[in-house]
Amino acid sequence: MKIIVAIKQVAVRDSQLRIAASGQWIDEADLAYEINEPDAYALEAGLQLKEAQGGEVVALSAGPPRVAQTIREALAKGADRAIHIEEDLSSADPLATCRLLAAALKAETPDLVLTGLQSDDLGYGQTGPILAELLGVPHATIIMQVEKSDPGIRVKRELEDGWFQFVDMPLPALLSIQSGFTKLRYATLMGIKKAKTKEIRRVTAADLGAGAATPSIAFDRVYLPEHTKRTQLFEGSPKEAAAQLVEKLKFEARVI
């Protein structure tokens, strides 16, 4: 079984963010980066399937040269090889990004494509469904468990209020993996050493015949939340004032 896992590099969660001079994105100059956590769970799901069924796991990522660090991490954890689409996607939207990913995937003809449910930076949650549509394969989201069946796969989806749904799907297919479905593995010392010798195929949009990642949406302005103080006096009897306070705390502050 050939499993391709789409991974994204994002800024470390506790990074101190500053707005760029353009006012349309954050200043990335001094940021540290890591693998997007939901994508780390997708990688873990792929590695577990490989260990159970055999085959190979291929990491697929797009972005500038610094993305190679995240790709090496995926290889150190057990991915067999990787594809790096070297394109600046800082202004790309999900559709533009997915067109690049789809162009790289079509040449690979994978049995299964895995993505994280959403990214930690933008959080669109659209990569999986859009990519499946471009590839013309069935897809499912919020996946908690994947098992190989005859002739396809059986997945467990998380629903609301503690309910789950089990779905049988044919292959090839695409799944968006839910975070926290299992425990993530660490890269071993041996895995880190082996990662240095594993193949990373570097391609550009021109190589894939996909053209530039032209966005169809754009940020007008990015800004930090404004902190303001305001005093409000409640009129009426103590009982009426208390009722107004409870309403404010429940529906505006949303703390109760």
Per-residue pLDDT tens over the stretch 110-126: 999 999 999 988 888 99
Sequence letter at residue 165: Q
CB 25 within 8 A of CB 79: no
pLDDT over threshold 90, residue 14: no
- Please tell me what DSSP assigns to residue 141: E
Nearest of 63, 33, 67, 56 to residue 198 by alpha carbon: 56
Helix (H, G, I), strand (E, B) or coil at 5: strand
Q: What is the mean pLDDT of the chain?
A: 90
What distance in Å separates the CA atoms of residue 72 and residue 93, rounded to the nearest whole number? 25
Per-residue pLDDT tens over the stretch 17-73: 888 888 888 888 888 899 999 999 999 999 999 999 999 999 999 999 999 999 999
Q: Which residue has the tokens 């009722």?
A: 243
pTM of the shown model: 0.83
Nearest of 161, 164, 110, 120 to residue 142 by alpha carbon: 164
In 23-45, which positions are buried (b, 16+ CB within 10 angstroms) versus exposed (e)? eeebeeeeeebbbbbbbbbbbbb
Helix (H, G, I), strand (E, B) or coil at 2: strand
pLDDT over threshold 90, residue 103: yes
Ranges of each domain in the chain: 2-208
Segments in 21-159 forming alpha helices (H): 37-53, 67-77, 94-106, 127-135
Q: What is the pLDDT of residue 189?
A: 94
pLDDT over threshold 70, residue 211: no
CB 23 within 8 A of CB 133: no
Q: What is the pLDDT of residue 248?
A: 87
What distance in Å separates the CA atoms of residue 181 and residue 86, rounded to the nearest whole number? 31
> Could you give the percent of the chain with pLDDT greater than 70?
98
Of 72-76, 157-161, 182-186, the range with the highest mean pLDDT is 72-76
CB 181 within 8 A of CB 145: yes
pLDDT over threshold 70, residue 213: no
Q: Return the CATH number of the domain spanning residue range 2-208.
A: 3.40.50.620
Q: What is the pLDDT of residue 172?
A: 95
